[in-house]
């Protein structure tokens, strides 16, 4: 048996070990649900078939940002004349990869397992499947099984995996997914990336800086999920860095030749040749082998949830009385680690509150409702330049029926930005609900714009009237002066 103390999960199948809450998936969402329910006085067991810490810790957020950081630091230094003269030579690729390894804990989860033990969460290693009402059977690596029973709730937090598009021959060339890119040992001379979204854009930035000749093939513009101007800034910078972009184009076939090179046939008949190809075209939920059929749900699909994150059926009703929940990417609300953790905190608190009888209505407005998933989704894209966004774009706000007013400003004209880097290039936009005169969206693109994001998040989440934002005085000379300039621009426009 592969159960970690405290607690025990060594019972044979048919003799269940009982906990208040059983969580399937020990990524960021699962860990946070478990932590909150334990803090609320309940017992919790968490089931994991891979590494405790999940995708973000080992194959996504942390290692990929480590791959990007050294090159970003060099670019920042070279943007200043004196500092630029002090920086010479090329990146030490091996040193970058060694630092990446540290951020991925060398793909060893002992530290996170120790954290689980320290806070009183039982870890059960293996593949968890729902086998009945409030019942999860875990199959361990040696083929033995453990049955876990939940008094209060079962939470699915199994996340997603990379989706490989159905391009003829692509599966046979064994393309990289985001996991392969994050854990790369040898940087290829030529890398083709299929997909121009966040993963495609970030990995194009990283691998071009590490020495690859990168080609991006995207059926859309770059970064279709953000304001158009932001994607255009990133596309321009990638091309300046030597990346070849095929936008609004697609690969129609793939093959690997006897020498190992991959050839991608394009829709216009052209061919892109590379040593490796990375697919970055979306995610698919990890729900194929969860036993969802025991509850009348289809395997392999996204889990629909209500505002309390209870899994619901096609009619929108909680499944089997409402004991099954889904947190994080698997519910498709927002596929971002920080939003999965946000959902998990709210859900864990709500489950504990219901167990105490404090709050029977888990969907009630307030602390336990995950309203940010609709109102204030936050995201930073760690390209060069960075993109930081919260809330709605002008396009999505208009599509939602909001009377939209926008204010745009050149970030390079802000004193703090010009001090930050010579020839600073960037742009910021406020998206305003004209009827209520409140901010519903904000996007900035430029070096280090992530520092602006939380101020915008507070403004959007709190629905602060623009009349009050005038009294939030930005310090001079900092890049935050963009807020004054945007408000001035908006004031002149109406």
Q: Spell out the per-residue pLDDT of the chain, length 494, in tens.
A: 345 433 344 444 457 899 999 999 999 999 999 999 999 999 999 999 999 999 999 999 999 999 999 999 999 999 999 998 898 888 999 999 999 999 999 999 999 999 999 999 999 999 999 999 999 999 999 999 999 999 999 999 999 999 999 999 999 999 999 999 999 999 999 999 999 999 999 999 999 999 999 999 999 999 999 999 999 999 999 999 999 999 999 999 999 999 999 999 999 999 999 999 999 999 999 999 999 998 999 999 999 999 889 999 999 999 999 999 999 999 999 999 999 999 999 999 999 988 988 754 544 435 566 778 888 999 999 999 999 999 999 999 999 999 999 999 999 999 999 898 888 999 999 999 999 999 999 999 999 999 999 999 999 999 999 999 999 999 999 999 999 999 999 987 65
Q: At what angle do helices 198-209 and 61-78 cross, to 10 degrees?
A: 50
The full set of domain ranges for the chain reads 3-57+104-161+285-372, 171-281, 385-493
Q: Where are the beta strands (DSSP E) in 318-468?
A: 324-326, 378-381, 386-391, 404-410, 427-433, 438-446
- Cis, peptide link before residue 385, omega less than 30° from 0: yes
Residue among 330, 350, 362, 327 nearest 31 (CA): 327
**Rounded distance between C-alpha atoms, residue 173 and residue 193, angstroms:** 14
Question: DSSP letter string over 300-318?
Answer: TS---B-TT-BBB-TTSPB
Q: Is the peptide bond before 268 cis (omega within 30 degrees of 0)?
A: no
pLDDT at 359: 54
Please determine whether the domains at 3-57+104-161+285-372 and 171-281 fall in the same fold group of CATH: yes
CB environment 271-293: b (16+ within 10 A), e (fewer): ebebbbbbbbbebebbbeebbbe
Token pair, residue 428, equals 């910021």
The secondary structure of 69-86, three-state, reads HHHHHHHHHHCCHHHHHH
Residue-level pLDDT at 421: 86
Residue 336: both structure tokens together: 């971002």
Structure tokens at 124: 């059960």
Burial class (CB in 10 A: 0-12, 13-18, 19+), 206: buried
Closest CA to 380 of 444, 459, 460, 461: 444
Question: In whole angstroms, what is the distance from residue 13 CA to residue 174 CA?
Answer: 38
Task: Annotate 156-179 with b (16+ C-beta within 10 A) or e (fewer).
Answer: bbbbbbbeebebebbeebebbbbe
The counts of H helices and E strands in the chain are: 16, 22
Eight-state DSSP code of residue 176: B
- Report domain 385-493's class: alpha beta
The Cα 161–Cα 288 span in angstroms is 11
The phi-psi region of residue 129 (left if phi > 0; otherwise alpha if psi is between -120 and 50; otherwise beta) is beta
- Beta-sheet strand order (sheet of 262-266): 251-256, 262-266, 271-274
HEC sequence for 117-142? HHHCCEEEECEEEEEECCEEEEECCC
450 within 8 A of 386, measured Cβ to Cβ: yes
Half-sphere CA count of 31, side-chain side, radius 13 A: 22
User: Kindly report the CA angle at 357 between 354 and 358, in degrees rounded to 5?
Assistant: 85
CA distance 50 to 433: 45
Task: Please tell me the class of the 3-57+104-161+285-372 domain.
Answer: alpha beta
DSSP annotation of 410 = E
Q: What token pair was written down for 37?
A: 């329910």
User: What is the pTM assigned to this prediction?
Assistant: 0.93
| Cβ atoms of residues 358 and 41 within 8 Å | no
Rg of the chain over all Cα atoms, to the nearest angstrom: 24
**Helical (H) or strand (E) element with 264:** strand 262-266
- Domain 171-281 classification at class level: alpha beta
């Amino acid at each position: 048996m592969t159960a970690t103390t405290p607690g025990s999960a060594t019972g044979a199948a048919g003799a269940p070990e009982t906990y208040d809450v059983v969580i399937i998936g020990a990524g960021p969402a699962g860990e946070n649900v478990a932590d909150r329910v334990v803090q609320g006085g309940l017992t919790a067991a968490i089931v994991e078939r891979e590494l405790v810490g999940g995708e973000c810790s080992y194959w996504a957020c942390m290692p990929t940002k480590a791959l990007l950081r050294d090159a970003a630091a060099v670019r920042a230094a070279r943007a200043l004349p004196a500092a630029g003269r002090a920086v010479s030579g090329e990146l030490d690729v091996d040193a970058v990869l060694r630092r990446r390894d540290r951020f991925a804990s060398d793909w060893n989860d002992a530290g996170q397992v120790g954290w689980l033990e320290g806070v009183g969460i039982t870890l059960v290693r293996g593949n968890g499947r729902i086998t009945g009402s409030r019942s999860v059977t875990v199959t361990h690596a040696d083929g033995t099984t453990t049955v876990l029973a939940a008094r209060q709730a079962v939470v699915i937090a199994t996340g997603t995996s990379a989706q490989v598009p159905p391009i003829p021959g692509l599966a046979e060339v064994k393309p990289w997914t985001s996991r392969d890119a994050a854990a790369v040992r040898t940087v290829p001379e030529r890398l083709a990336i299929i997909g121009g979204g966040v993963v495609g854009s970030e990995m194009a930035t990283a691998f071009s800086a590490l020495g690859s000749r990168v080609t991006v093939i995207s059926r859309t513009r770059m970064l279709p999920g953000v304001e158009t101007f932001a994607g255009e800034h990133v596309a321009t910078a990638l091309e300046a860095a030597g990346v070849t972009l095929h936008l609004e184009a697609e690969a129609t076939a793939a093959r690997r030749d006897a020498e190992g090179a991959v050839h991608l046939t394009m829709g216009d008949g052209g061919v892109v040749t590379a040593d490796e190809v990375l697919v970055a075209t979306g995610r698919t939920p990890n729900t194929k082998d969860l036993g969802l059929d025991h509850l009348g749900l289809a395997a392999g699909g996204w889990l629909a949830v209500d505002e309390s994150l209870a899994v619901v059926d096609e009619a929108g009703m909680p499944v089997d009385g409402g004991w099954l929940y889904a947190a994080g990417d698997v519910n498709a609300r927002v596929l971002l680690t920080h939003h999965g953790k946000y959902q998990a905190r709210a859900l864990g608190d709500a489950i504990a509150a219901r167990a105490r009888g404090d709050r029977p209505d888990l969907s009630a407005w307030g602390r336990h409702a995950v309203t940010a998933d609709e109102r204030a989704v936050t995201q930073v894209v760690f390209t060069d330049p960075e993109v930081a966004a919260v809330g709605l774009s002008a396009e999505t706000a208009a599509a939602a029926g909001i009377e939209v007013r926008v204010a745009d400003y050149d970030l390079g004209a802000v004193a703090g930005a010009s001090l930050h880097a010579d020839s600073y290039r960037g742009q910021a936009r406020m998206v305003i609900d004209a009827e209520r005169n409140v901010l519903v969206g904000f996007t900035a693109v430029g070096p280090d714009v992530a520092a602006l994001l939380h101020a915008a998040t507070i403004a959007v989440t709190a629905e602060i009237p623009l009349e009050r934002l005038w009294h939030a005085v930005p310090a001079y000379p900092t890049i935050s002066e963009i807020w004054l300039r945007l408000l001035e621009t908006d004031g002149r426009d109406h």
